[in-house]
Amino acid sequence: MSAMATSMDQSRSSPIDTVRTFGRNNAWTLGLLGFLAVLLAFTKVVNPNYSLGSLSSTATSVLPLAFAAVAQAIVVISGGIDLSISSQMALTSCVAATMMKDNPGDGMAVLIVIGVLGLGLLLGAVNGALVVLTKVPDIVVTLSTYFVWAGFALLVRPAPGGSAAQWLKDLVVGPAGIELLPKAAIVLVVIVAVVWIPLSRSRLGISLYAIGSNPLAAFRSGVPVNRTKFLSYVVTGLVAAFAGLSLTASTGIGSPVPEPTYVLISIGAVVLGGVSLAGGIGGVFGPLVAVVVLQLIRDDMTFMRVNPNYGLVAQGFILIGVLMAGSFIQMRRSRA
């Protein structure tokens, strides 16, 4: 085996090479993790009260956005984009909160959660079907459905309200045993792992990358391009439903007005997380780290009492700066 594999797979030849290969393939994410560490240290400096306990509140507040970024990453990897994610979140969150108020009981809540996830699949399927069948550009289709889902959310719940089952709230608030481990982080990692790992190791996973990387080559290789594109929106809808549920869980209610910044931040996090907007490159771990980075930057600005308007400007510049630095390093590396 080893003799056969030498030319192809260095990762089997020695552990050092394994590390090196891993580092090369995940350089962007590792760099981003380094940036996160620096940022955490900076946070501790500007806000000495920031402690391990604060970590779990950061995690809880970042959870919906993290799911949104993962949802966006999946569709962007396959060469598409979904602008309707935030109103999908609003709709699923409102449906969950309203039904849980009308049908109290833990067992009922489990059924409702399952139903809402099904709703997410349905919303994604509608997006995907429209993109594939009408050939209207994805950006236009999902901008339109953004308004449709937002309208439905207001029909379900004209004003914020409803409630969430206690177990659902407990799932995402506070630390799990030791302070270093926020529950929200565990929920996030478990759910993303359950969705992403089977996906990335299945034929659908490699097909997602294929249609994002080169639709013509994928077609020539026998990949059903339209079906794969459709399914990318379905999976995105599912993850967006998790994002909506986590909104309900962390706030205890459903709010019918979609937060427009969720879409923009999810796209920002996807790009910052090393996913190419042209498709075909990246994963979901990078965007997850990027969401935490963006959240920490915002928190630090609040601590430092920066005028929120300047804060927005600063956030934009930081995003551009990090991306430019990253691209510059990658360019140097590919030349070498």
- Residues lying near another protein in the complex (CB under 8 A) are found at 4-5, 7-9, 21, 24-25, 198, 201-204, 206-207, 209-210, 213-214, 216-224, 276, 280-281, 334
What's the min distance (Å) between Cβ of 96 and another protein? 28
Q: Are the beta carbons of 168 and 248 closer than 8 angstroms? A: yes
Cβ nearer to another protein, comparing 226 with 315: 226
What's the min distance (Å) between Cβ of 24 and another protein? 6
Q: Are the beta carbons of 102 and 217 closer than 8 angstroms? A: no
Cα within 13 Å of Cα(44), Cβ side: 9
What's the min distance (Å) between Cβ of 21 and another protein? 7
What's the min distance (Å) between Cβ of 1 and another protein? 8
Q: Hey, is 307 helix, strand or coil?
A: coil
What's the min distance (Å) between Cβ of 220 and another protein? 6
> What gap in Å lies between CA 126 and CA 149, rounded to an integer?
11
> What gap in Å lies between CA 115 and CA 244, rounded to an integer?
13
Cβ nearer to another protein, comparing 104 with 198: 198
Eight-class DSSP state of 174: S
What's the min distance (Å) between Cβ of 25 and another protein? 6
Cβ nearer to another protein, comparing 185 with 275: 275
Q: Are the beta carbons of 228 and 78 closer than 8 angstroms? A: yes
Cβ nearer to another protein, comparing 20 with 44: 20
The CA distances from residue 146 to 58, 97, 255, in Å, are 27, 20, 15
Cβ nearer to another protein, comparing 215 with 258: 215
- Residue 139: other Cβ atoms inside 10 A: 13
Cβ nearer to another protein, comparing 169 with 227: 227
